Amino acid sequence: VDLFVRGSGGNTTTTMMYGIMHEDINNSGDGGIYAELIQNRAFQATEEYPVSLDAWSAVNGAKLSVKQLGKPLSTALPNSLNVVPGSGKSGFANSGFWGIDVKVQRYTGSFYVKGSYSGRFTASLQSNLTGETFGAVDIVSRSVSDEWVQHEFTLVPRKAAPNSNNTFAITFDASGTKNGSLDFNLISLFPPTYKNRPNGMRVDLMEAIAELNPKFFRLPGGNMLEGLTTKTWWKWNETIGPLKDRPGMAGVWGYQLTTGLGLVEYMQWCDDLNMEPIVAVWDGLALDGTFIAEADLGPYIQSALDELEFLTGDVHTKWGAVRASLGHPKPWTVKYVEIGNEDWLAGRPTAYDSYKEYRFQMFLDAFTKKYPKIQVIASPSVFDDMVIPAPAAGDSHSYLTPDGFVQAFGMFDHLTKGNLTLIGEYAAVHPNGGIDWSGDLQPWPWWGGAVSEAIFLIGAERNSDRVIGATYAPGLKNLNRWQWAVTLMQHAADPALTTRSVSWYMLRLMGKHVITETLPVATDANFGPLYYVAGNSDKGTTILKAAVYNTTAPVPVSLQLECYKKGTTATLTVLTGPQNPYGYNDPWTQANVVKETTTTLKADDNGTFSFSLPQLSVAVLETSGK
């Protein structure tokens, strides 16, 4: 294939082509990137998920029960753990989120106690298999009979555990108690976190995300925002402030959420990874298909405006002052707000029609009036039978087969300037050949799927003056409990199981080479089996991104650059996968099936770079400069 890349005449592109989204699915938040090690730390419960002693067990004959005391820790956390001690030193243990990783590092812990106890508490980390203690610390009791008193501690194990089958325990001496039992709540333990933030994120997972060079963060994405019912949506104002004031919420993926990972923590991800926030606000639709009537929508619109004021208002505004009181006087900048999630999936004729008829327009009007500079994004796009009213943009979600993604290569060519579109979720989830949503998803991202995703993304990059950006979804899957198989990464308590999928490798390559201005490419060849986009970077280099799908022989490429200057070299990075297109990165073996080769190319006297790309490959060529 002969490609002639012109020196000008393309488009200025989006500044944030590749991003991430997060919702708590597959224990990707609690038990995932949120670094809290204690599961069910505050006995949070909802109508959907009754209170339980999940993950807790008695130590040395103590008796455990969950109680609702007349004087709870807070109105948000009404349940607590009552411990009737056994004889000697006894208490309770937590098995973490299917284990606890124990290293010689600093763990930061805290718990609240109510009840008179003179003596010491012991906080310890030990093997669940052998009982061996890896580290313990004594905490002098300050507890009193009728108050909740917080006890904080740090614990540095003297020895690393050989595996993650460990528990965390708190024990105390029965003889020091006065009234026969003690009450505990909000029992928390954190390892070192990313950038050492209190209440922060797991280091290995944040580092893996950072390697992707993400430019935006859709927060919170997905069904979690919607909630199971119109009473249990993601209420942003219940996810902020001290942990003892966060009631948690009924997660939509089969488990209760702590919301310890809340709105402020999301914004801190943006700060830490230098990402542009795309803040999704609840728009009156719940997953059960019910929605808020037009006459009742006002308070929900106000809540969304308040959320924006909380994030961006100065300290003299009502909600800006609340943010400042939580230790964040400096407002964040928010340029994008998305109204809801997947309203187009909400069932017809009622729920989706209500979005088109009044819900979206009412939110759009309110935001345009109060925040005219913010780009409002509708949760459907023009691809979902929605006419997006100006000046809004749309959001398109694609969960397809590999063939489906290749067929969608030209999808964004037809967008007009007025149809700015976010690709708020995408992933290859089904194999070619007939399995659809009535069948299972693939177990993991697979190489053939990753190449097809690259082709879809190349199609988007060709139109990146009309595409805001793209994010794979979902991002994470805890190997112990998950609801959605195909995710960008997998993880468990043991960081050795953290797995970058084949799609992650493809995305790292695509995200590393940032095109800031596309360039037209002249050729006699049609797209397929080679798909490509060319452009300049703001480093003065020229970039070609390409992928090959559906060929029996390698594709020879001859690439000529109009702006070529003698002596320019180029680096060609090619990703190839296993022979079997269904090959994947297996968390249990940790073998990476994606092979990366990098070569330096010299142009011939005509300024032409020659190379060939094999079947199912993704490649980026970047010149050394013009």
Distance separating alpha carbons of residues 123 and 551, to the nearest angstrom: 61
Beta-carbon-side half-sphere exposure of residue 64 (alpha carbons within 13 Å): 23
Q: Which is nearer to ligand AHR, 355 or 532 (CB)?
A: 355
End-to-end CA separation in angstroms for the chain: 23
SS3 294: helix
Task: Map the footprint of ligand AHR across residues 7-46, applying CB under 6 A.
Answer: 23, 25
Q: Which is nearer to ligand AHR, 476 or 521 (CB)?
A: 476
Q: Which is nearer to ligand AHR, 69 or 485 (CB)?
A: 485
Q: Which is nearer to ligand AHR, 386 or 603 (CB)?
A: 386
Task: Map the footprint of ligand AHR across residues 440-499, applying CB under 6 A.
Answer: 473-474, 484
Task: In angstroms, give the least distance from the CB of 483 to ligand AHR.
Answer: 9
Task: In angstroms, give the least distance from the CB of 136 to ligand AHR.
Answer: 41
Distance separating alpha carbons of residues 474 and 447, to the nearest angstrom: 17
Beta-carbon-side half-sphere exposure of residue 127 (alpha carbons within 13 Å): 11
Sheet holding 89-94, edge to edge: 56-59, 89-94, 166-173, 120-127, 133-140
Task: In angstroms, give the least distance from the CB of 378 to ligand AHR.
Answer: 14
Q: Per-residue contact track with ligand AHR, 382 to 421, x per CB under 6 A?
A: ----------------------------------------
Distance separating alpha carbons of residues 147 and 532, to the nearest angstrom: 66
**Per-residue tokens: 569:** 């070299």
What's the Cα-to-Cα distance from 265 to each of 24, 262, 271, rounded to whole Å? 13, 5, 10
Task: In angstroms, give the least distance from the CB of 482 to ligand AHR.
Answer: 11
Q: Per-residue contact track with ligand AHR, 176 to 215, x per CB under 6 A?
A: ----------------------------------------
Q: How many CB atoms lie within 10 A of CB 175?
A: 12
Choice from 342, 343, 395, 622 touching ligand AHR (CB under 6 A): 342
Distance separating alpha carbons of residues 560 and 257, to the nearest angstrom: 54
What's the Cα-to-Cα distance from 87 to each of 80, 132, 171, 174, rounded to whole Å? 22, 21, 11, 6
- The full length of the chain comes to 626
Task: Map the footprint of ligand AHR across residues 269-328, applying CB under 6 A.
Answer: none
Strand-strand pairing, 617-623 and 499-500: unpaired
Q: Which is nearer to ligand AHR, 114 or 491 (CB)?
A: 491
Choice from 223, 478, 490, 498 touching ligand AHR (CB under 6 A): 223
How many residues bind to ligand AHR according to rule CB under 6 A?
A: 10
Choice from 13, 26, 95, 341 touching ligand AHR (CB under 6 A): 341
Task: Map the footprint of ligand AHR across residues 91-130, applying CB under 6 A.
Answer: none
**Per-residue tokens: 346:** 């909400």
Q: Which is nearer to ligand AHR, 348 or 370 (CB)?
A: 348
Q: How many CB atoms lie within 10 A of CB 565?
A: 11
Choice from 395, 425, 453, 622 touching ligand AHR (CB under 6 A): 425
Task: In angstroms, give the least distance from the CB of 222 to ligand AHR.
Answer: 3
Residue in this structure with the two tokens 């108690």, named with its chain if needed: 177
Task: In angstroms, give the least distance from the CB of 425 to ligand AHR.
Answer: 5
Distance separating alpha carbons of residues 553 and 532, to the nearest angstrom: 18
Sign of the C-alpha dihedral, residues 56, 60, 66, 68? negative
Q: Which is nearer to ligand AHR, 89 or 477 (CB)?
A: 477
By CB neighbour count within 10 A (0-12 exposed, 13-18 middle, 19+ buried), where does 602 fall?
exposed
Task: In angstroms, give the least distance from the CB of 54 to ligand AHR.
Answer: 24
Task: In angstroms, give the least distance from the CB of 620 to ligand AHR.
Answer: 27
Task: In angstroms, give the least distance from the CB of 228 to ligand AHR.
Answer: 12
Sign of the C-alpha dihedral, residues 583, 429, 425, 97? negative
Q: Which is nearer to ligand AHR, 72 or 222 (CB)?
A: 222
Distance separating alpha carbons of residues 573 and 468, to the nearest angstrom: 26
Task: In angstroms, give the least distance from the CB of 313 to ligand AHR.
Answer: 29
Task: In angstroms, give the least distance from the CB of 224 to ligand AHR.
Answer: 7
Q: Which is nearer to ligand AHR, 268 or 341 (CB)?
A: 341
- The residue with its CB nearest to ligand AHR is 222
What residues line the site for ligand AHR (CB under 6 A)?
Answer: 23, 25, 222-223, 341-342, 425, 473-474, 484
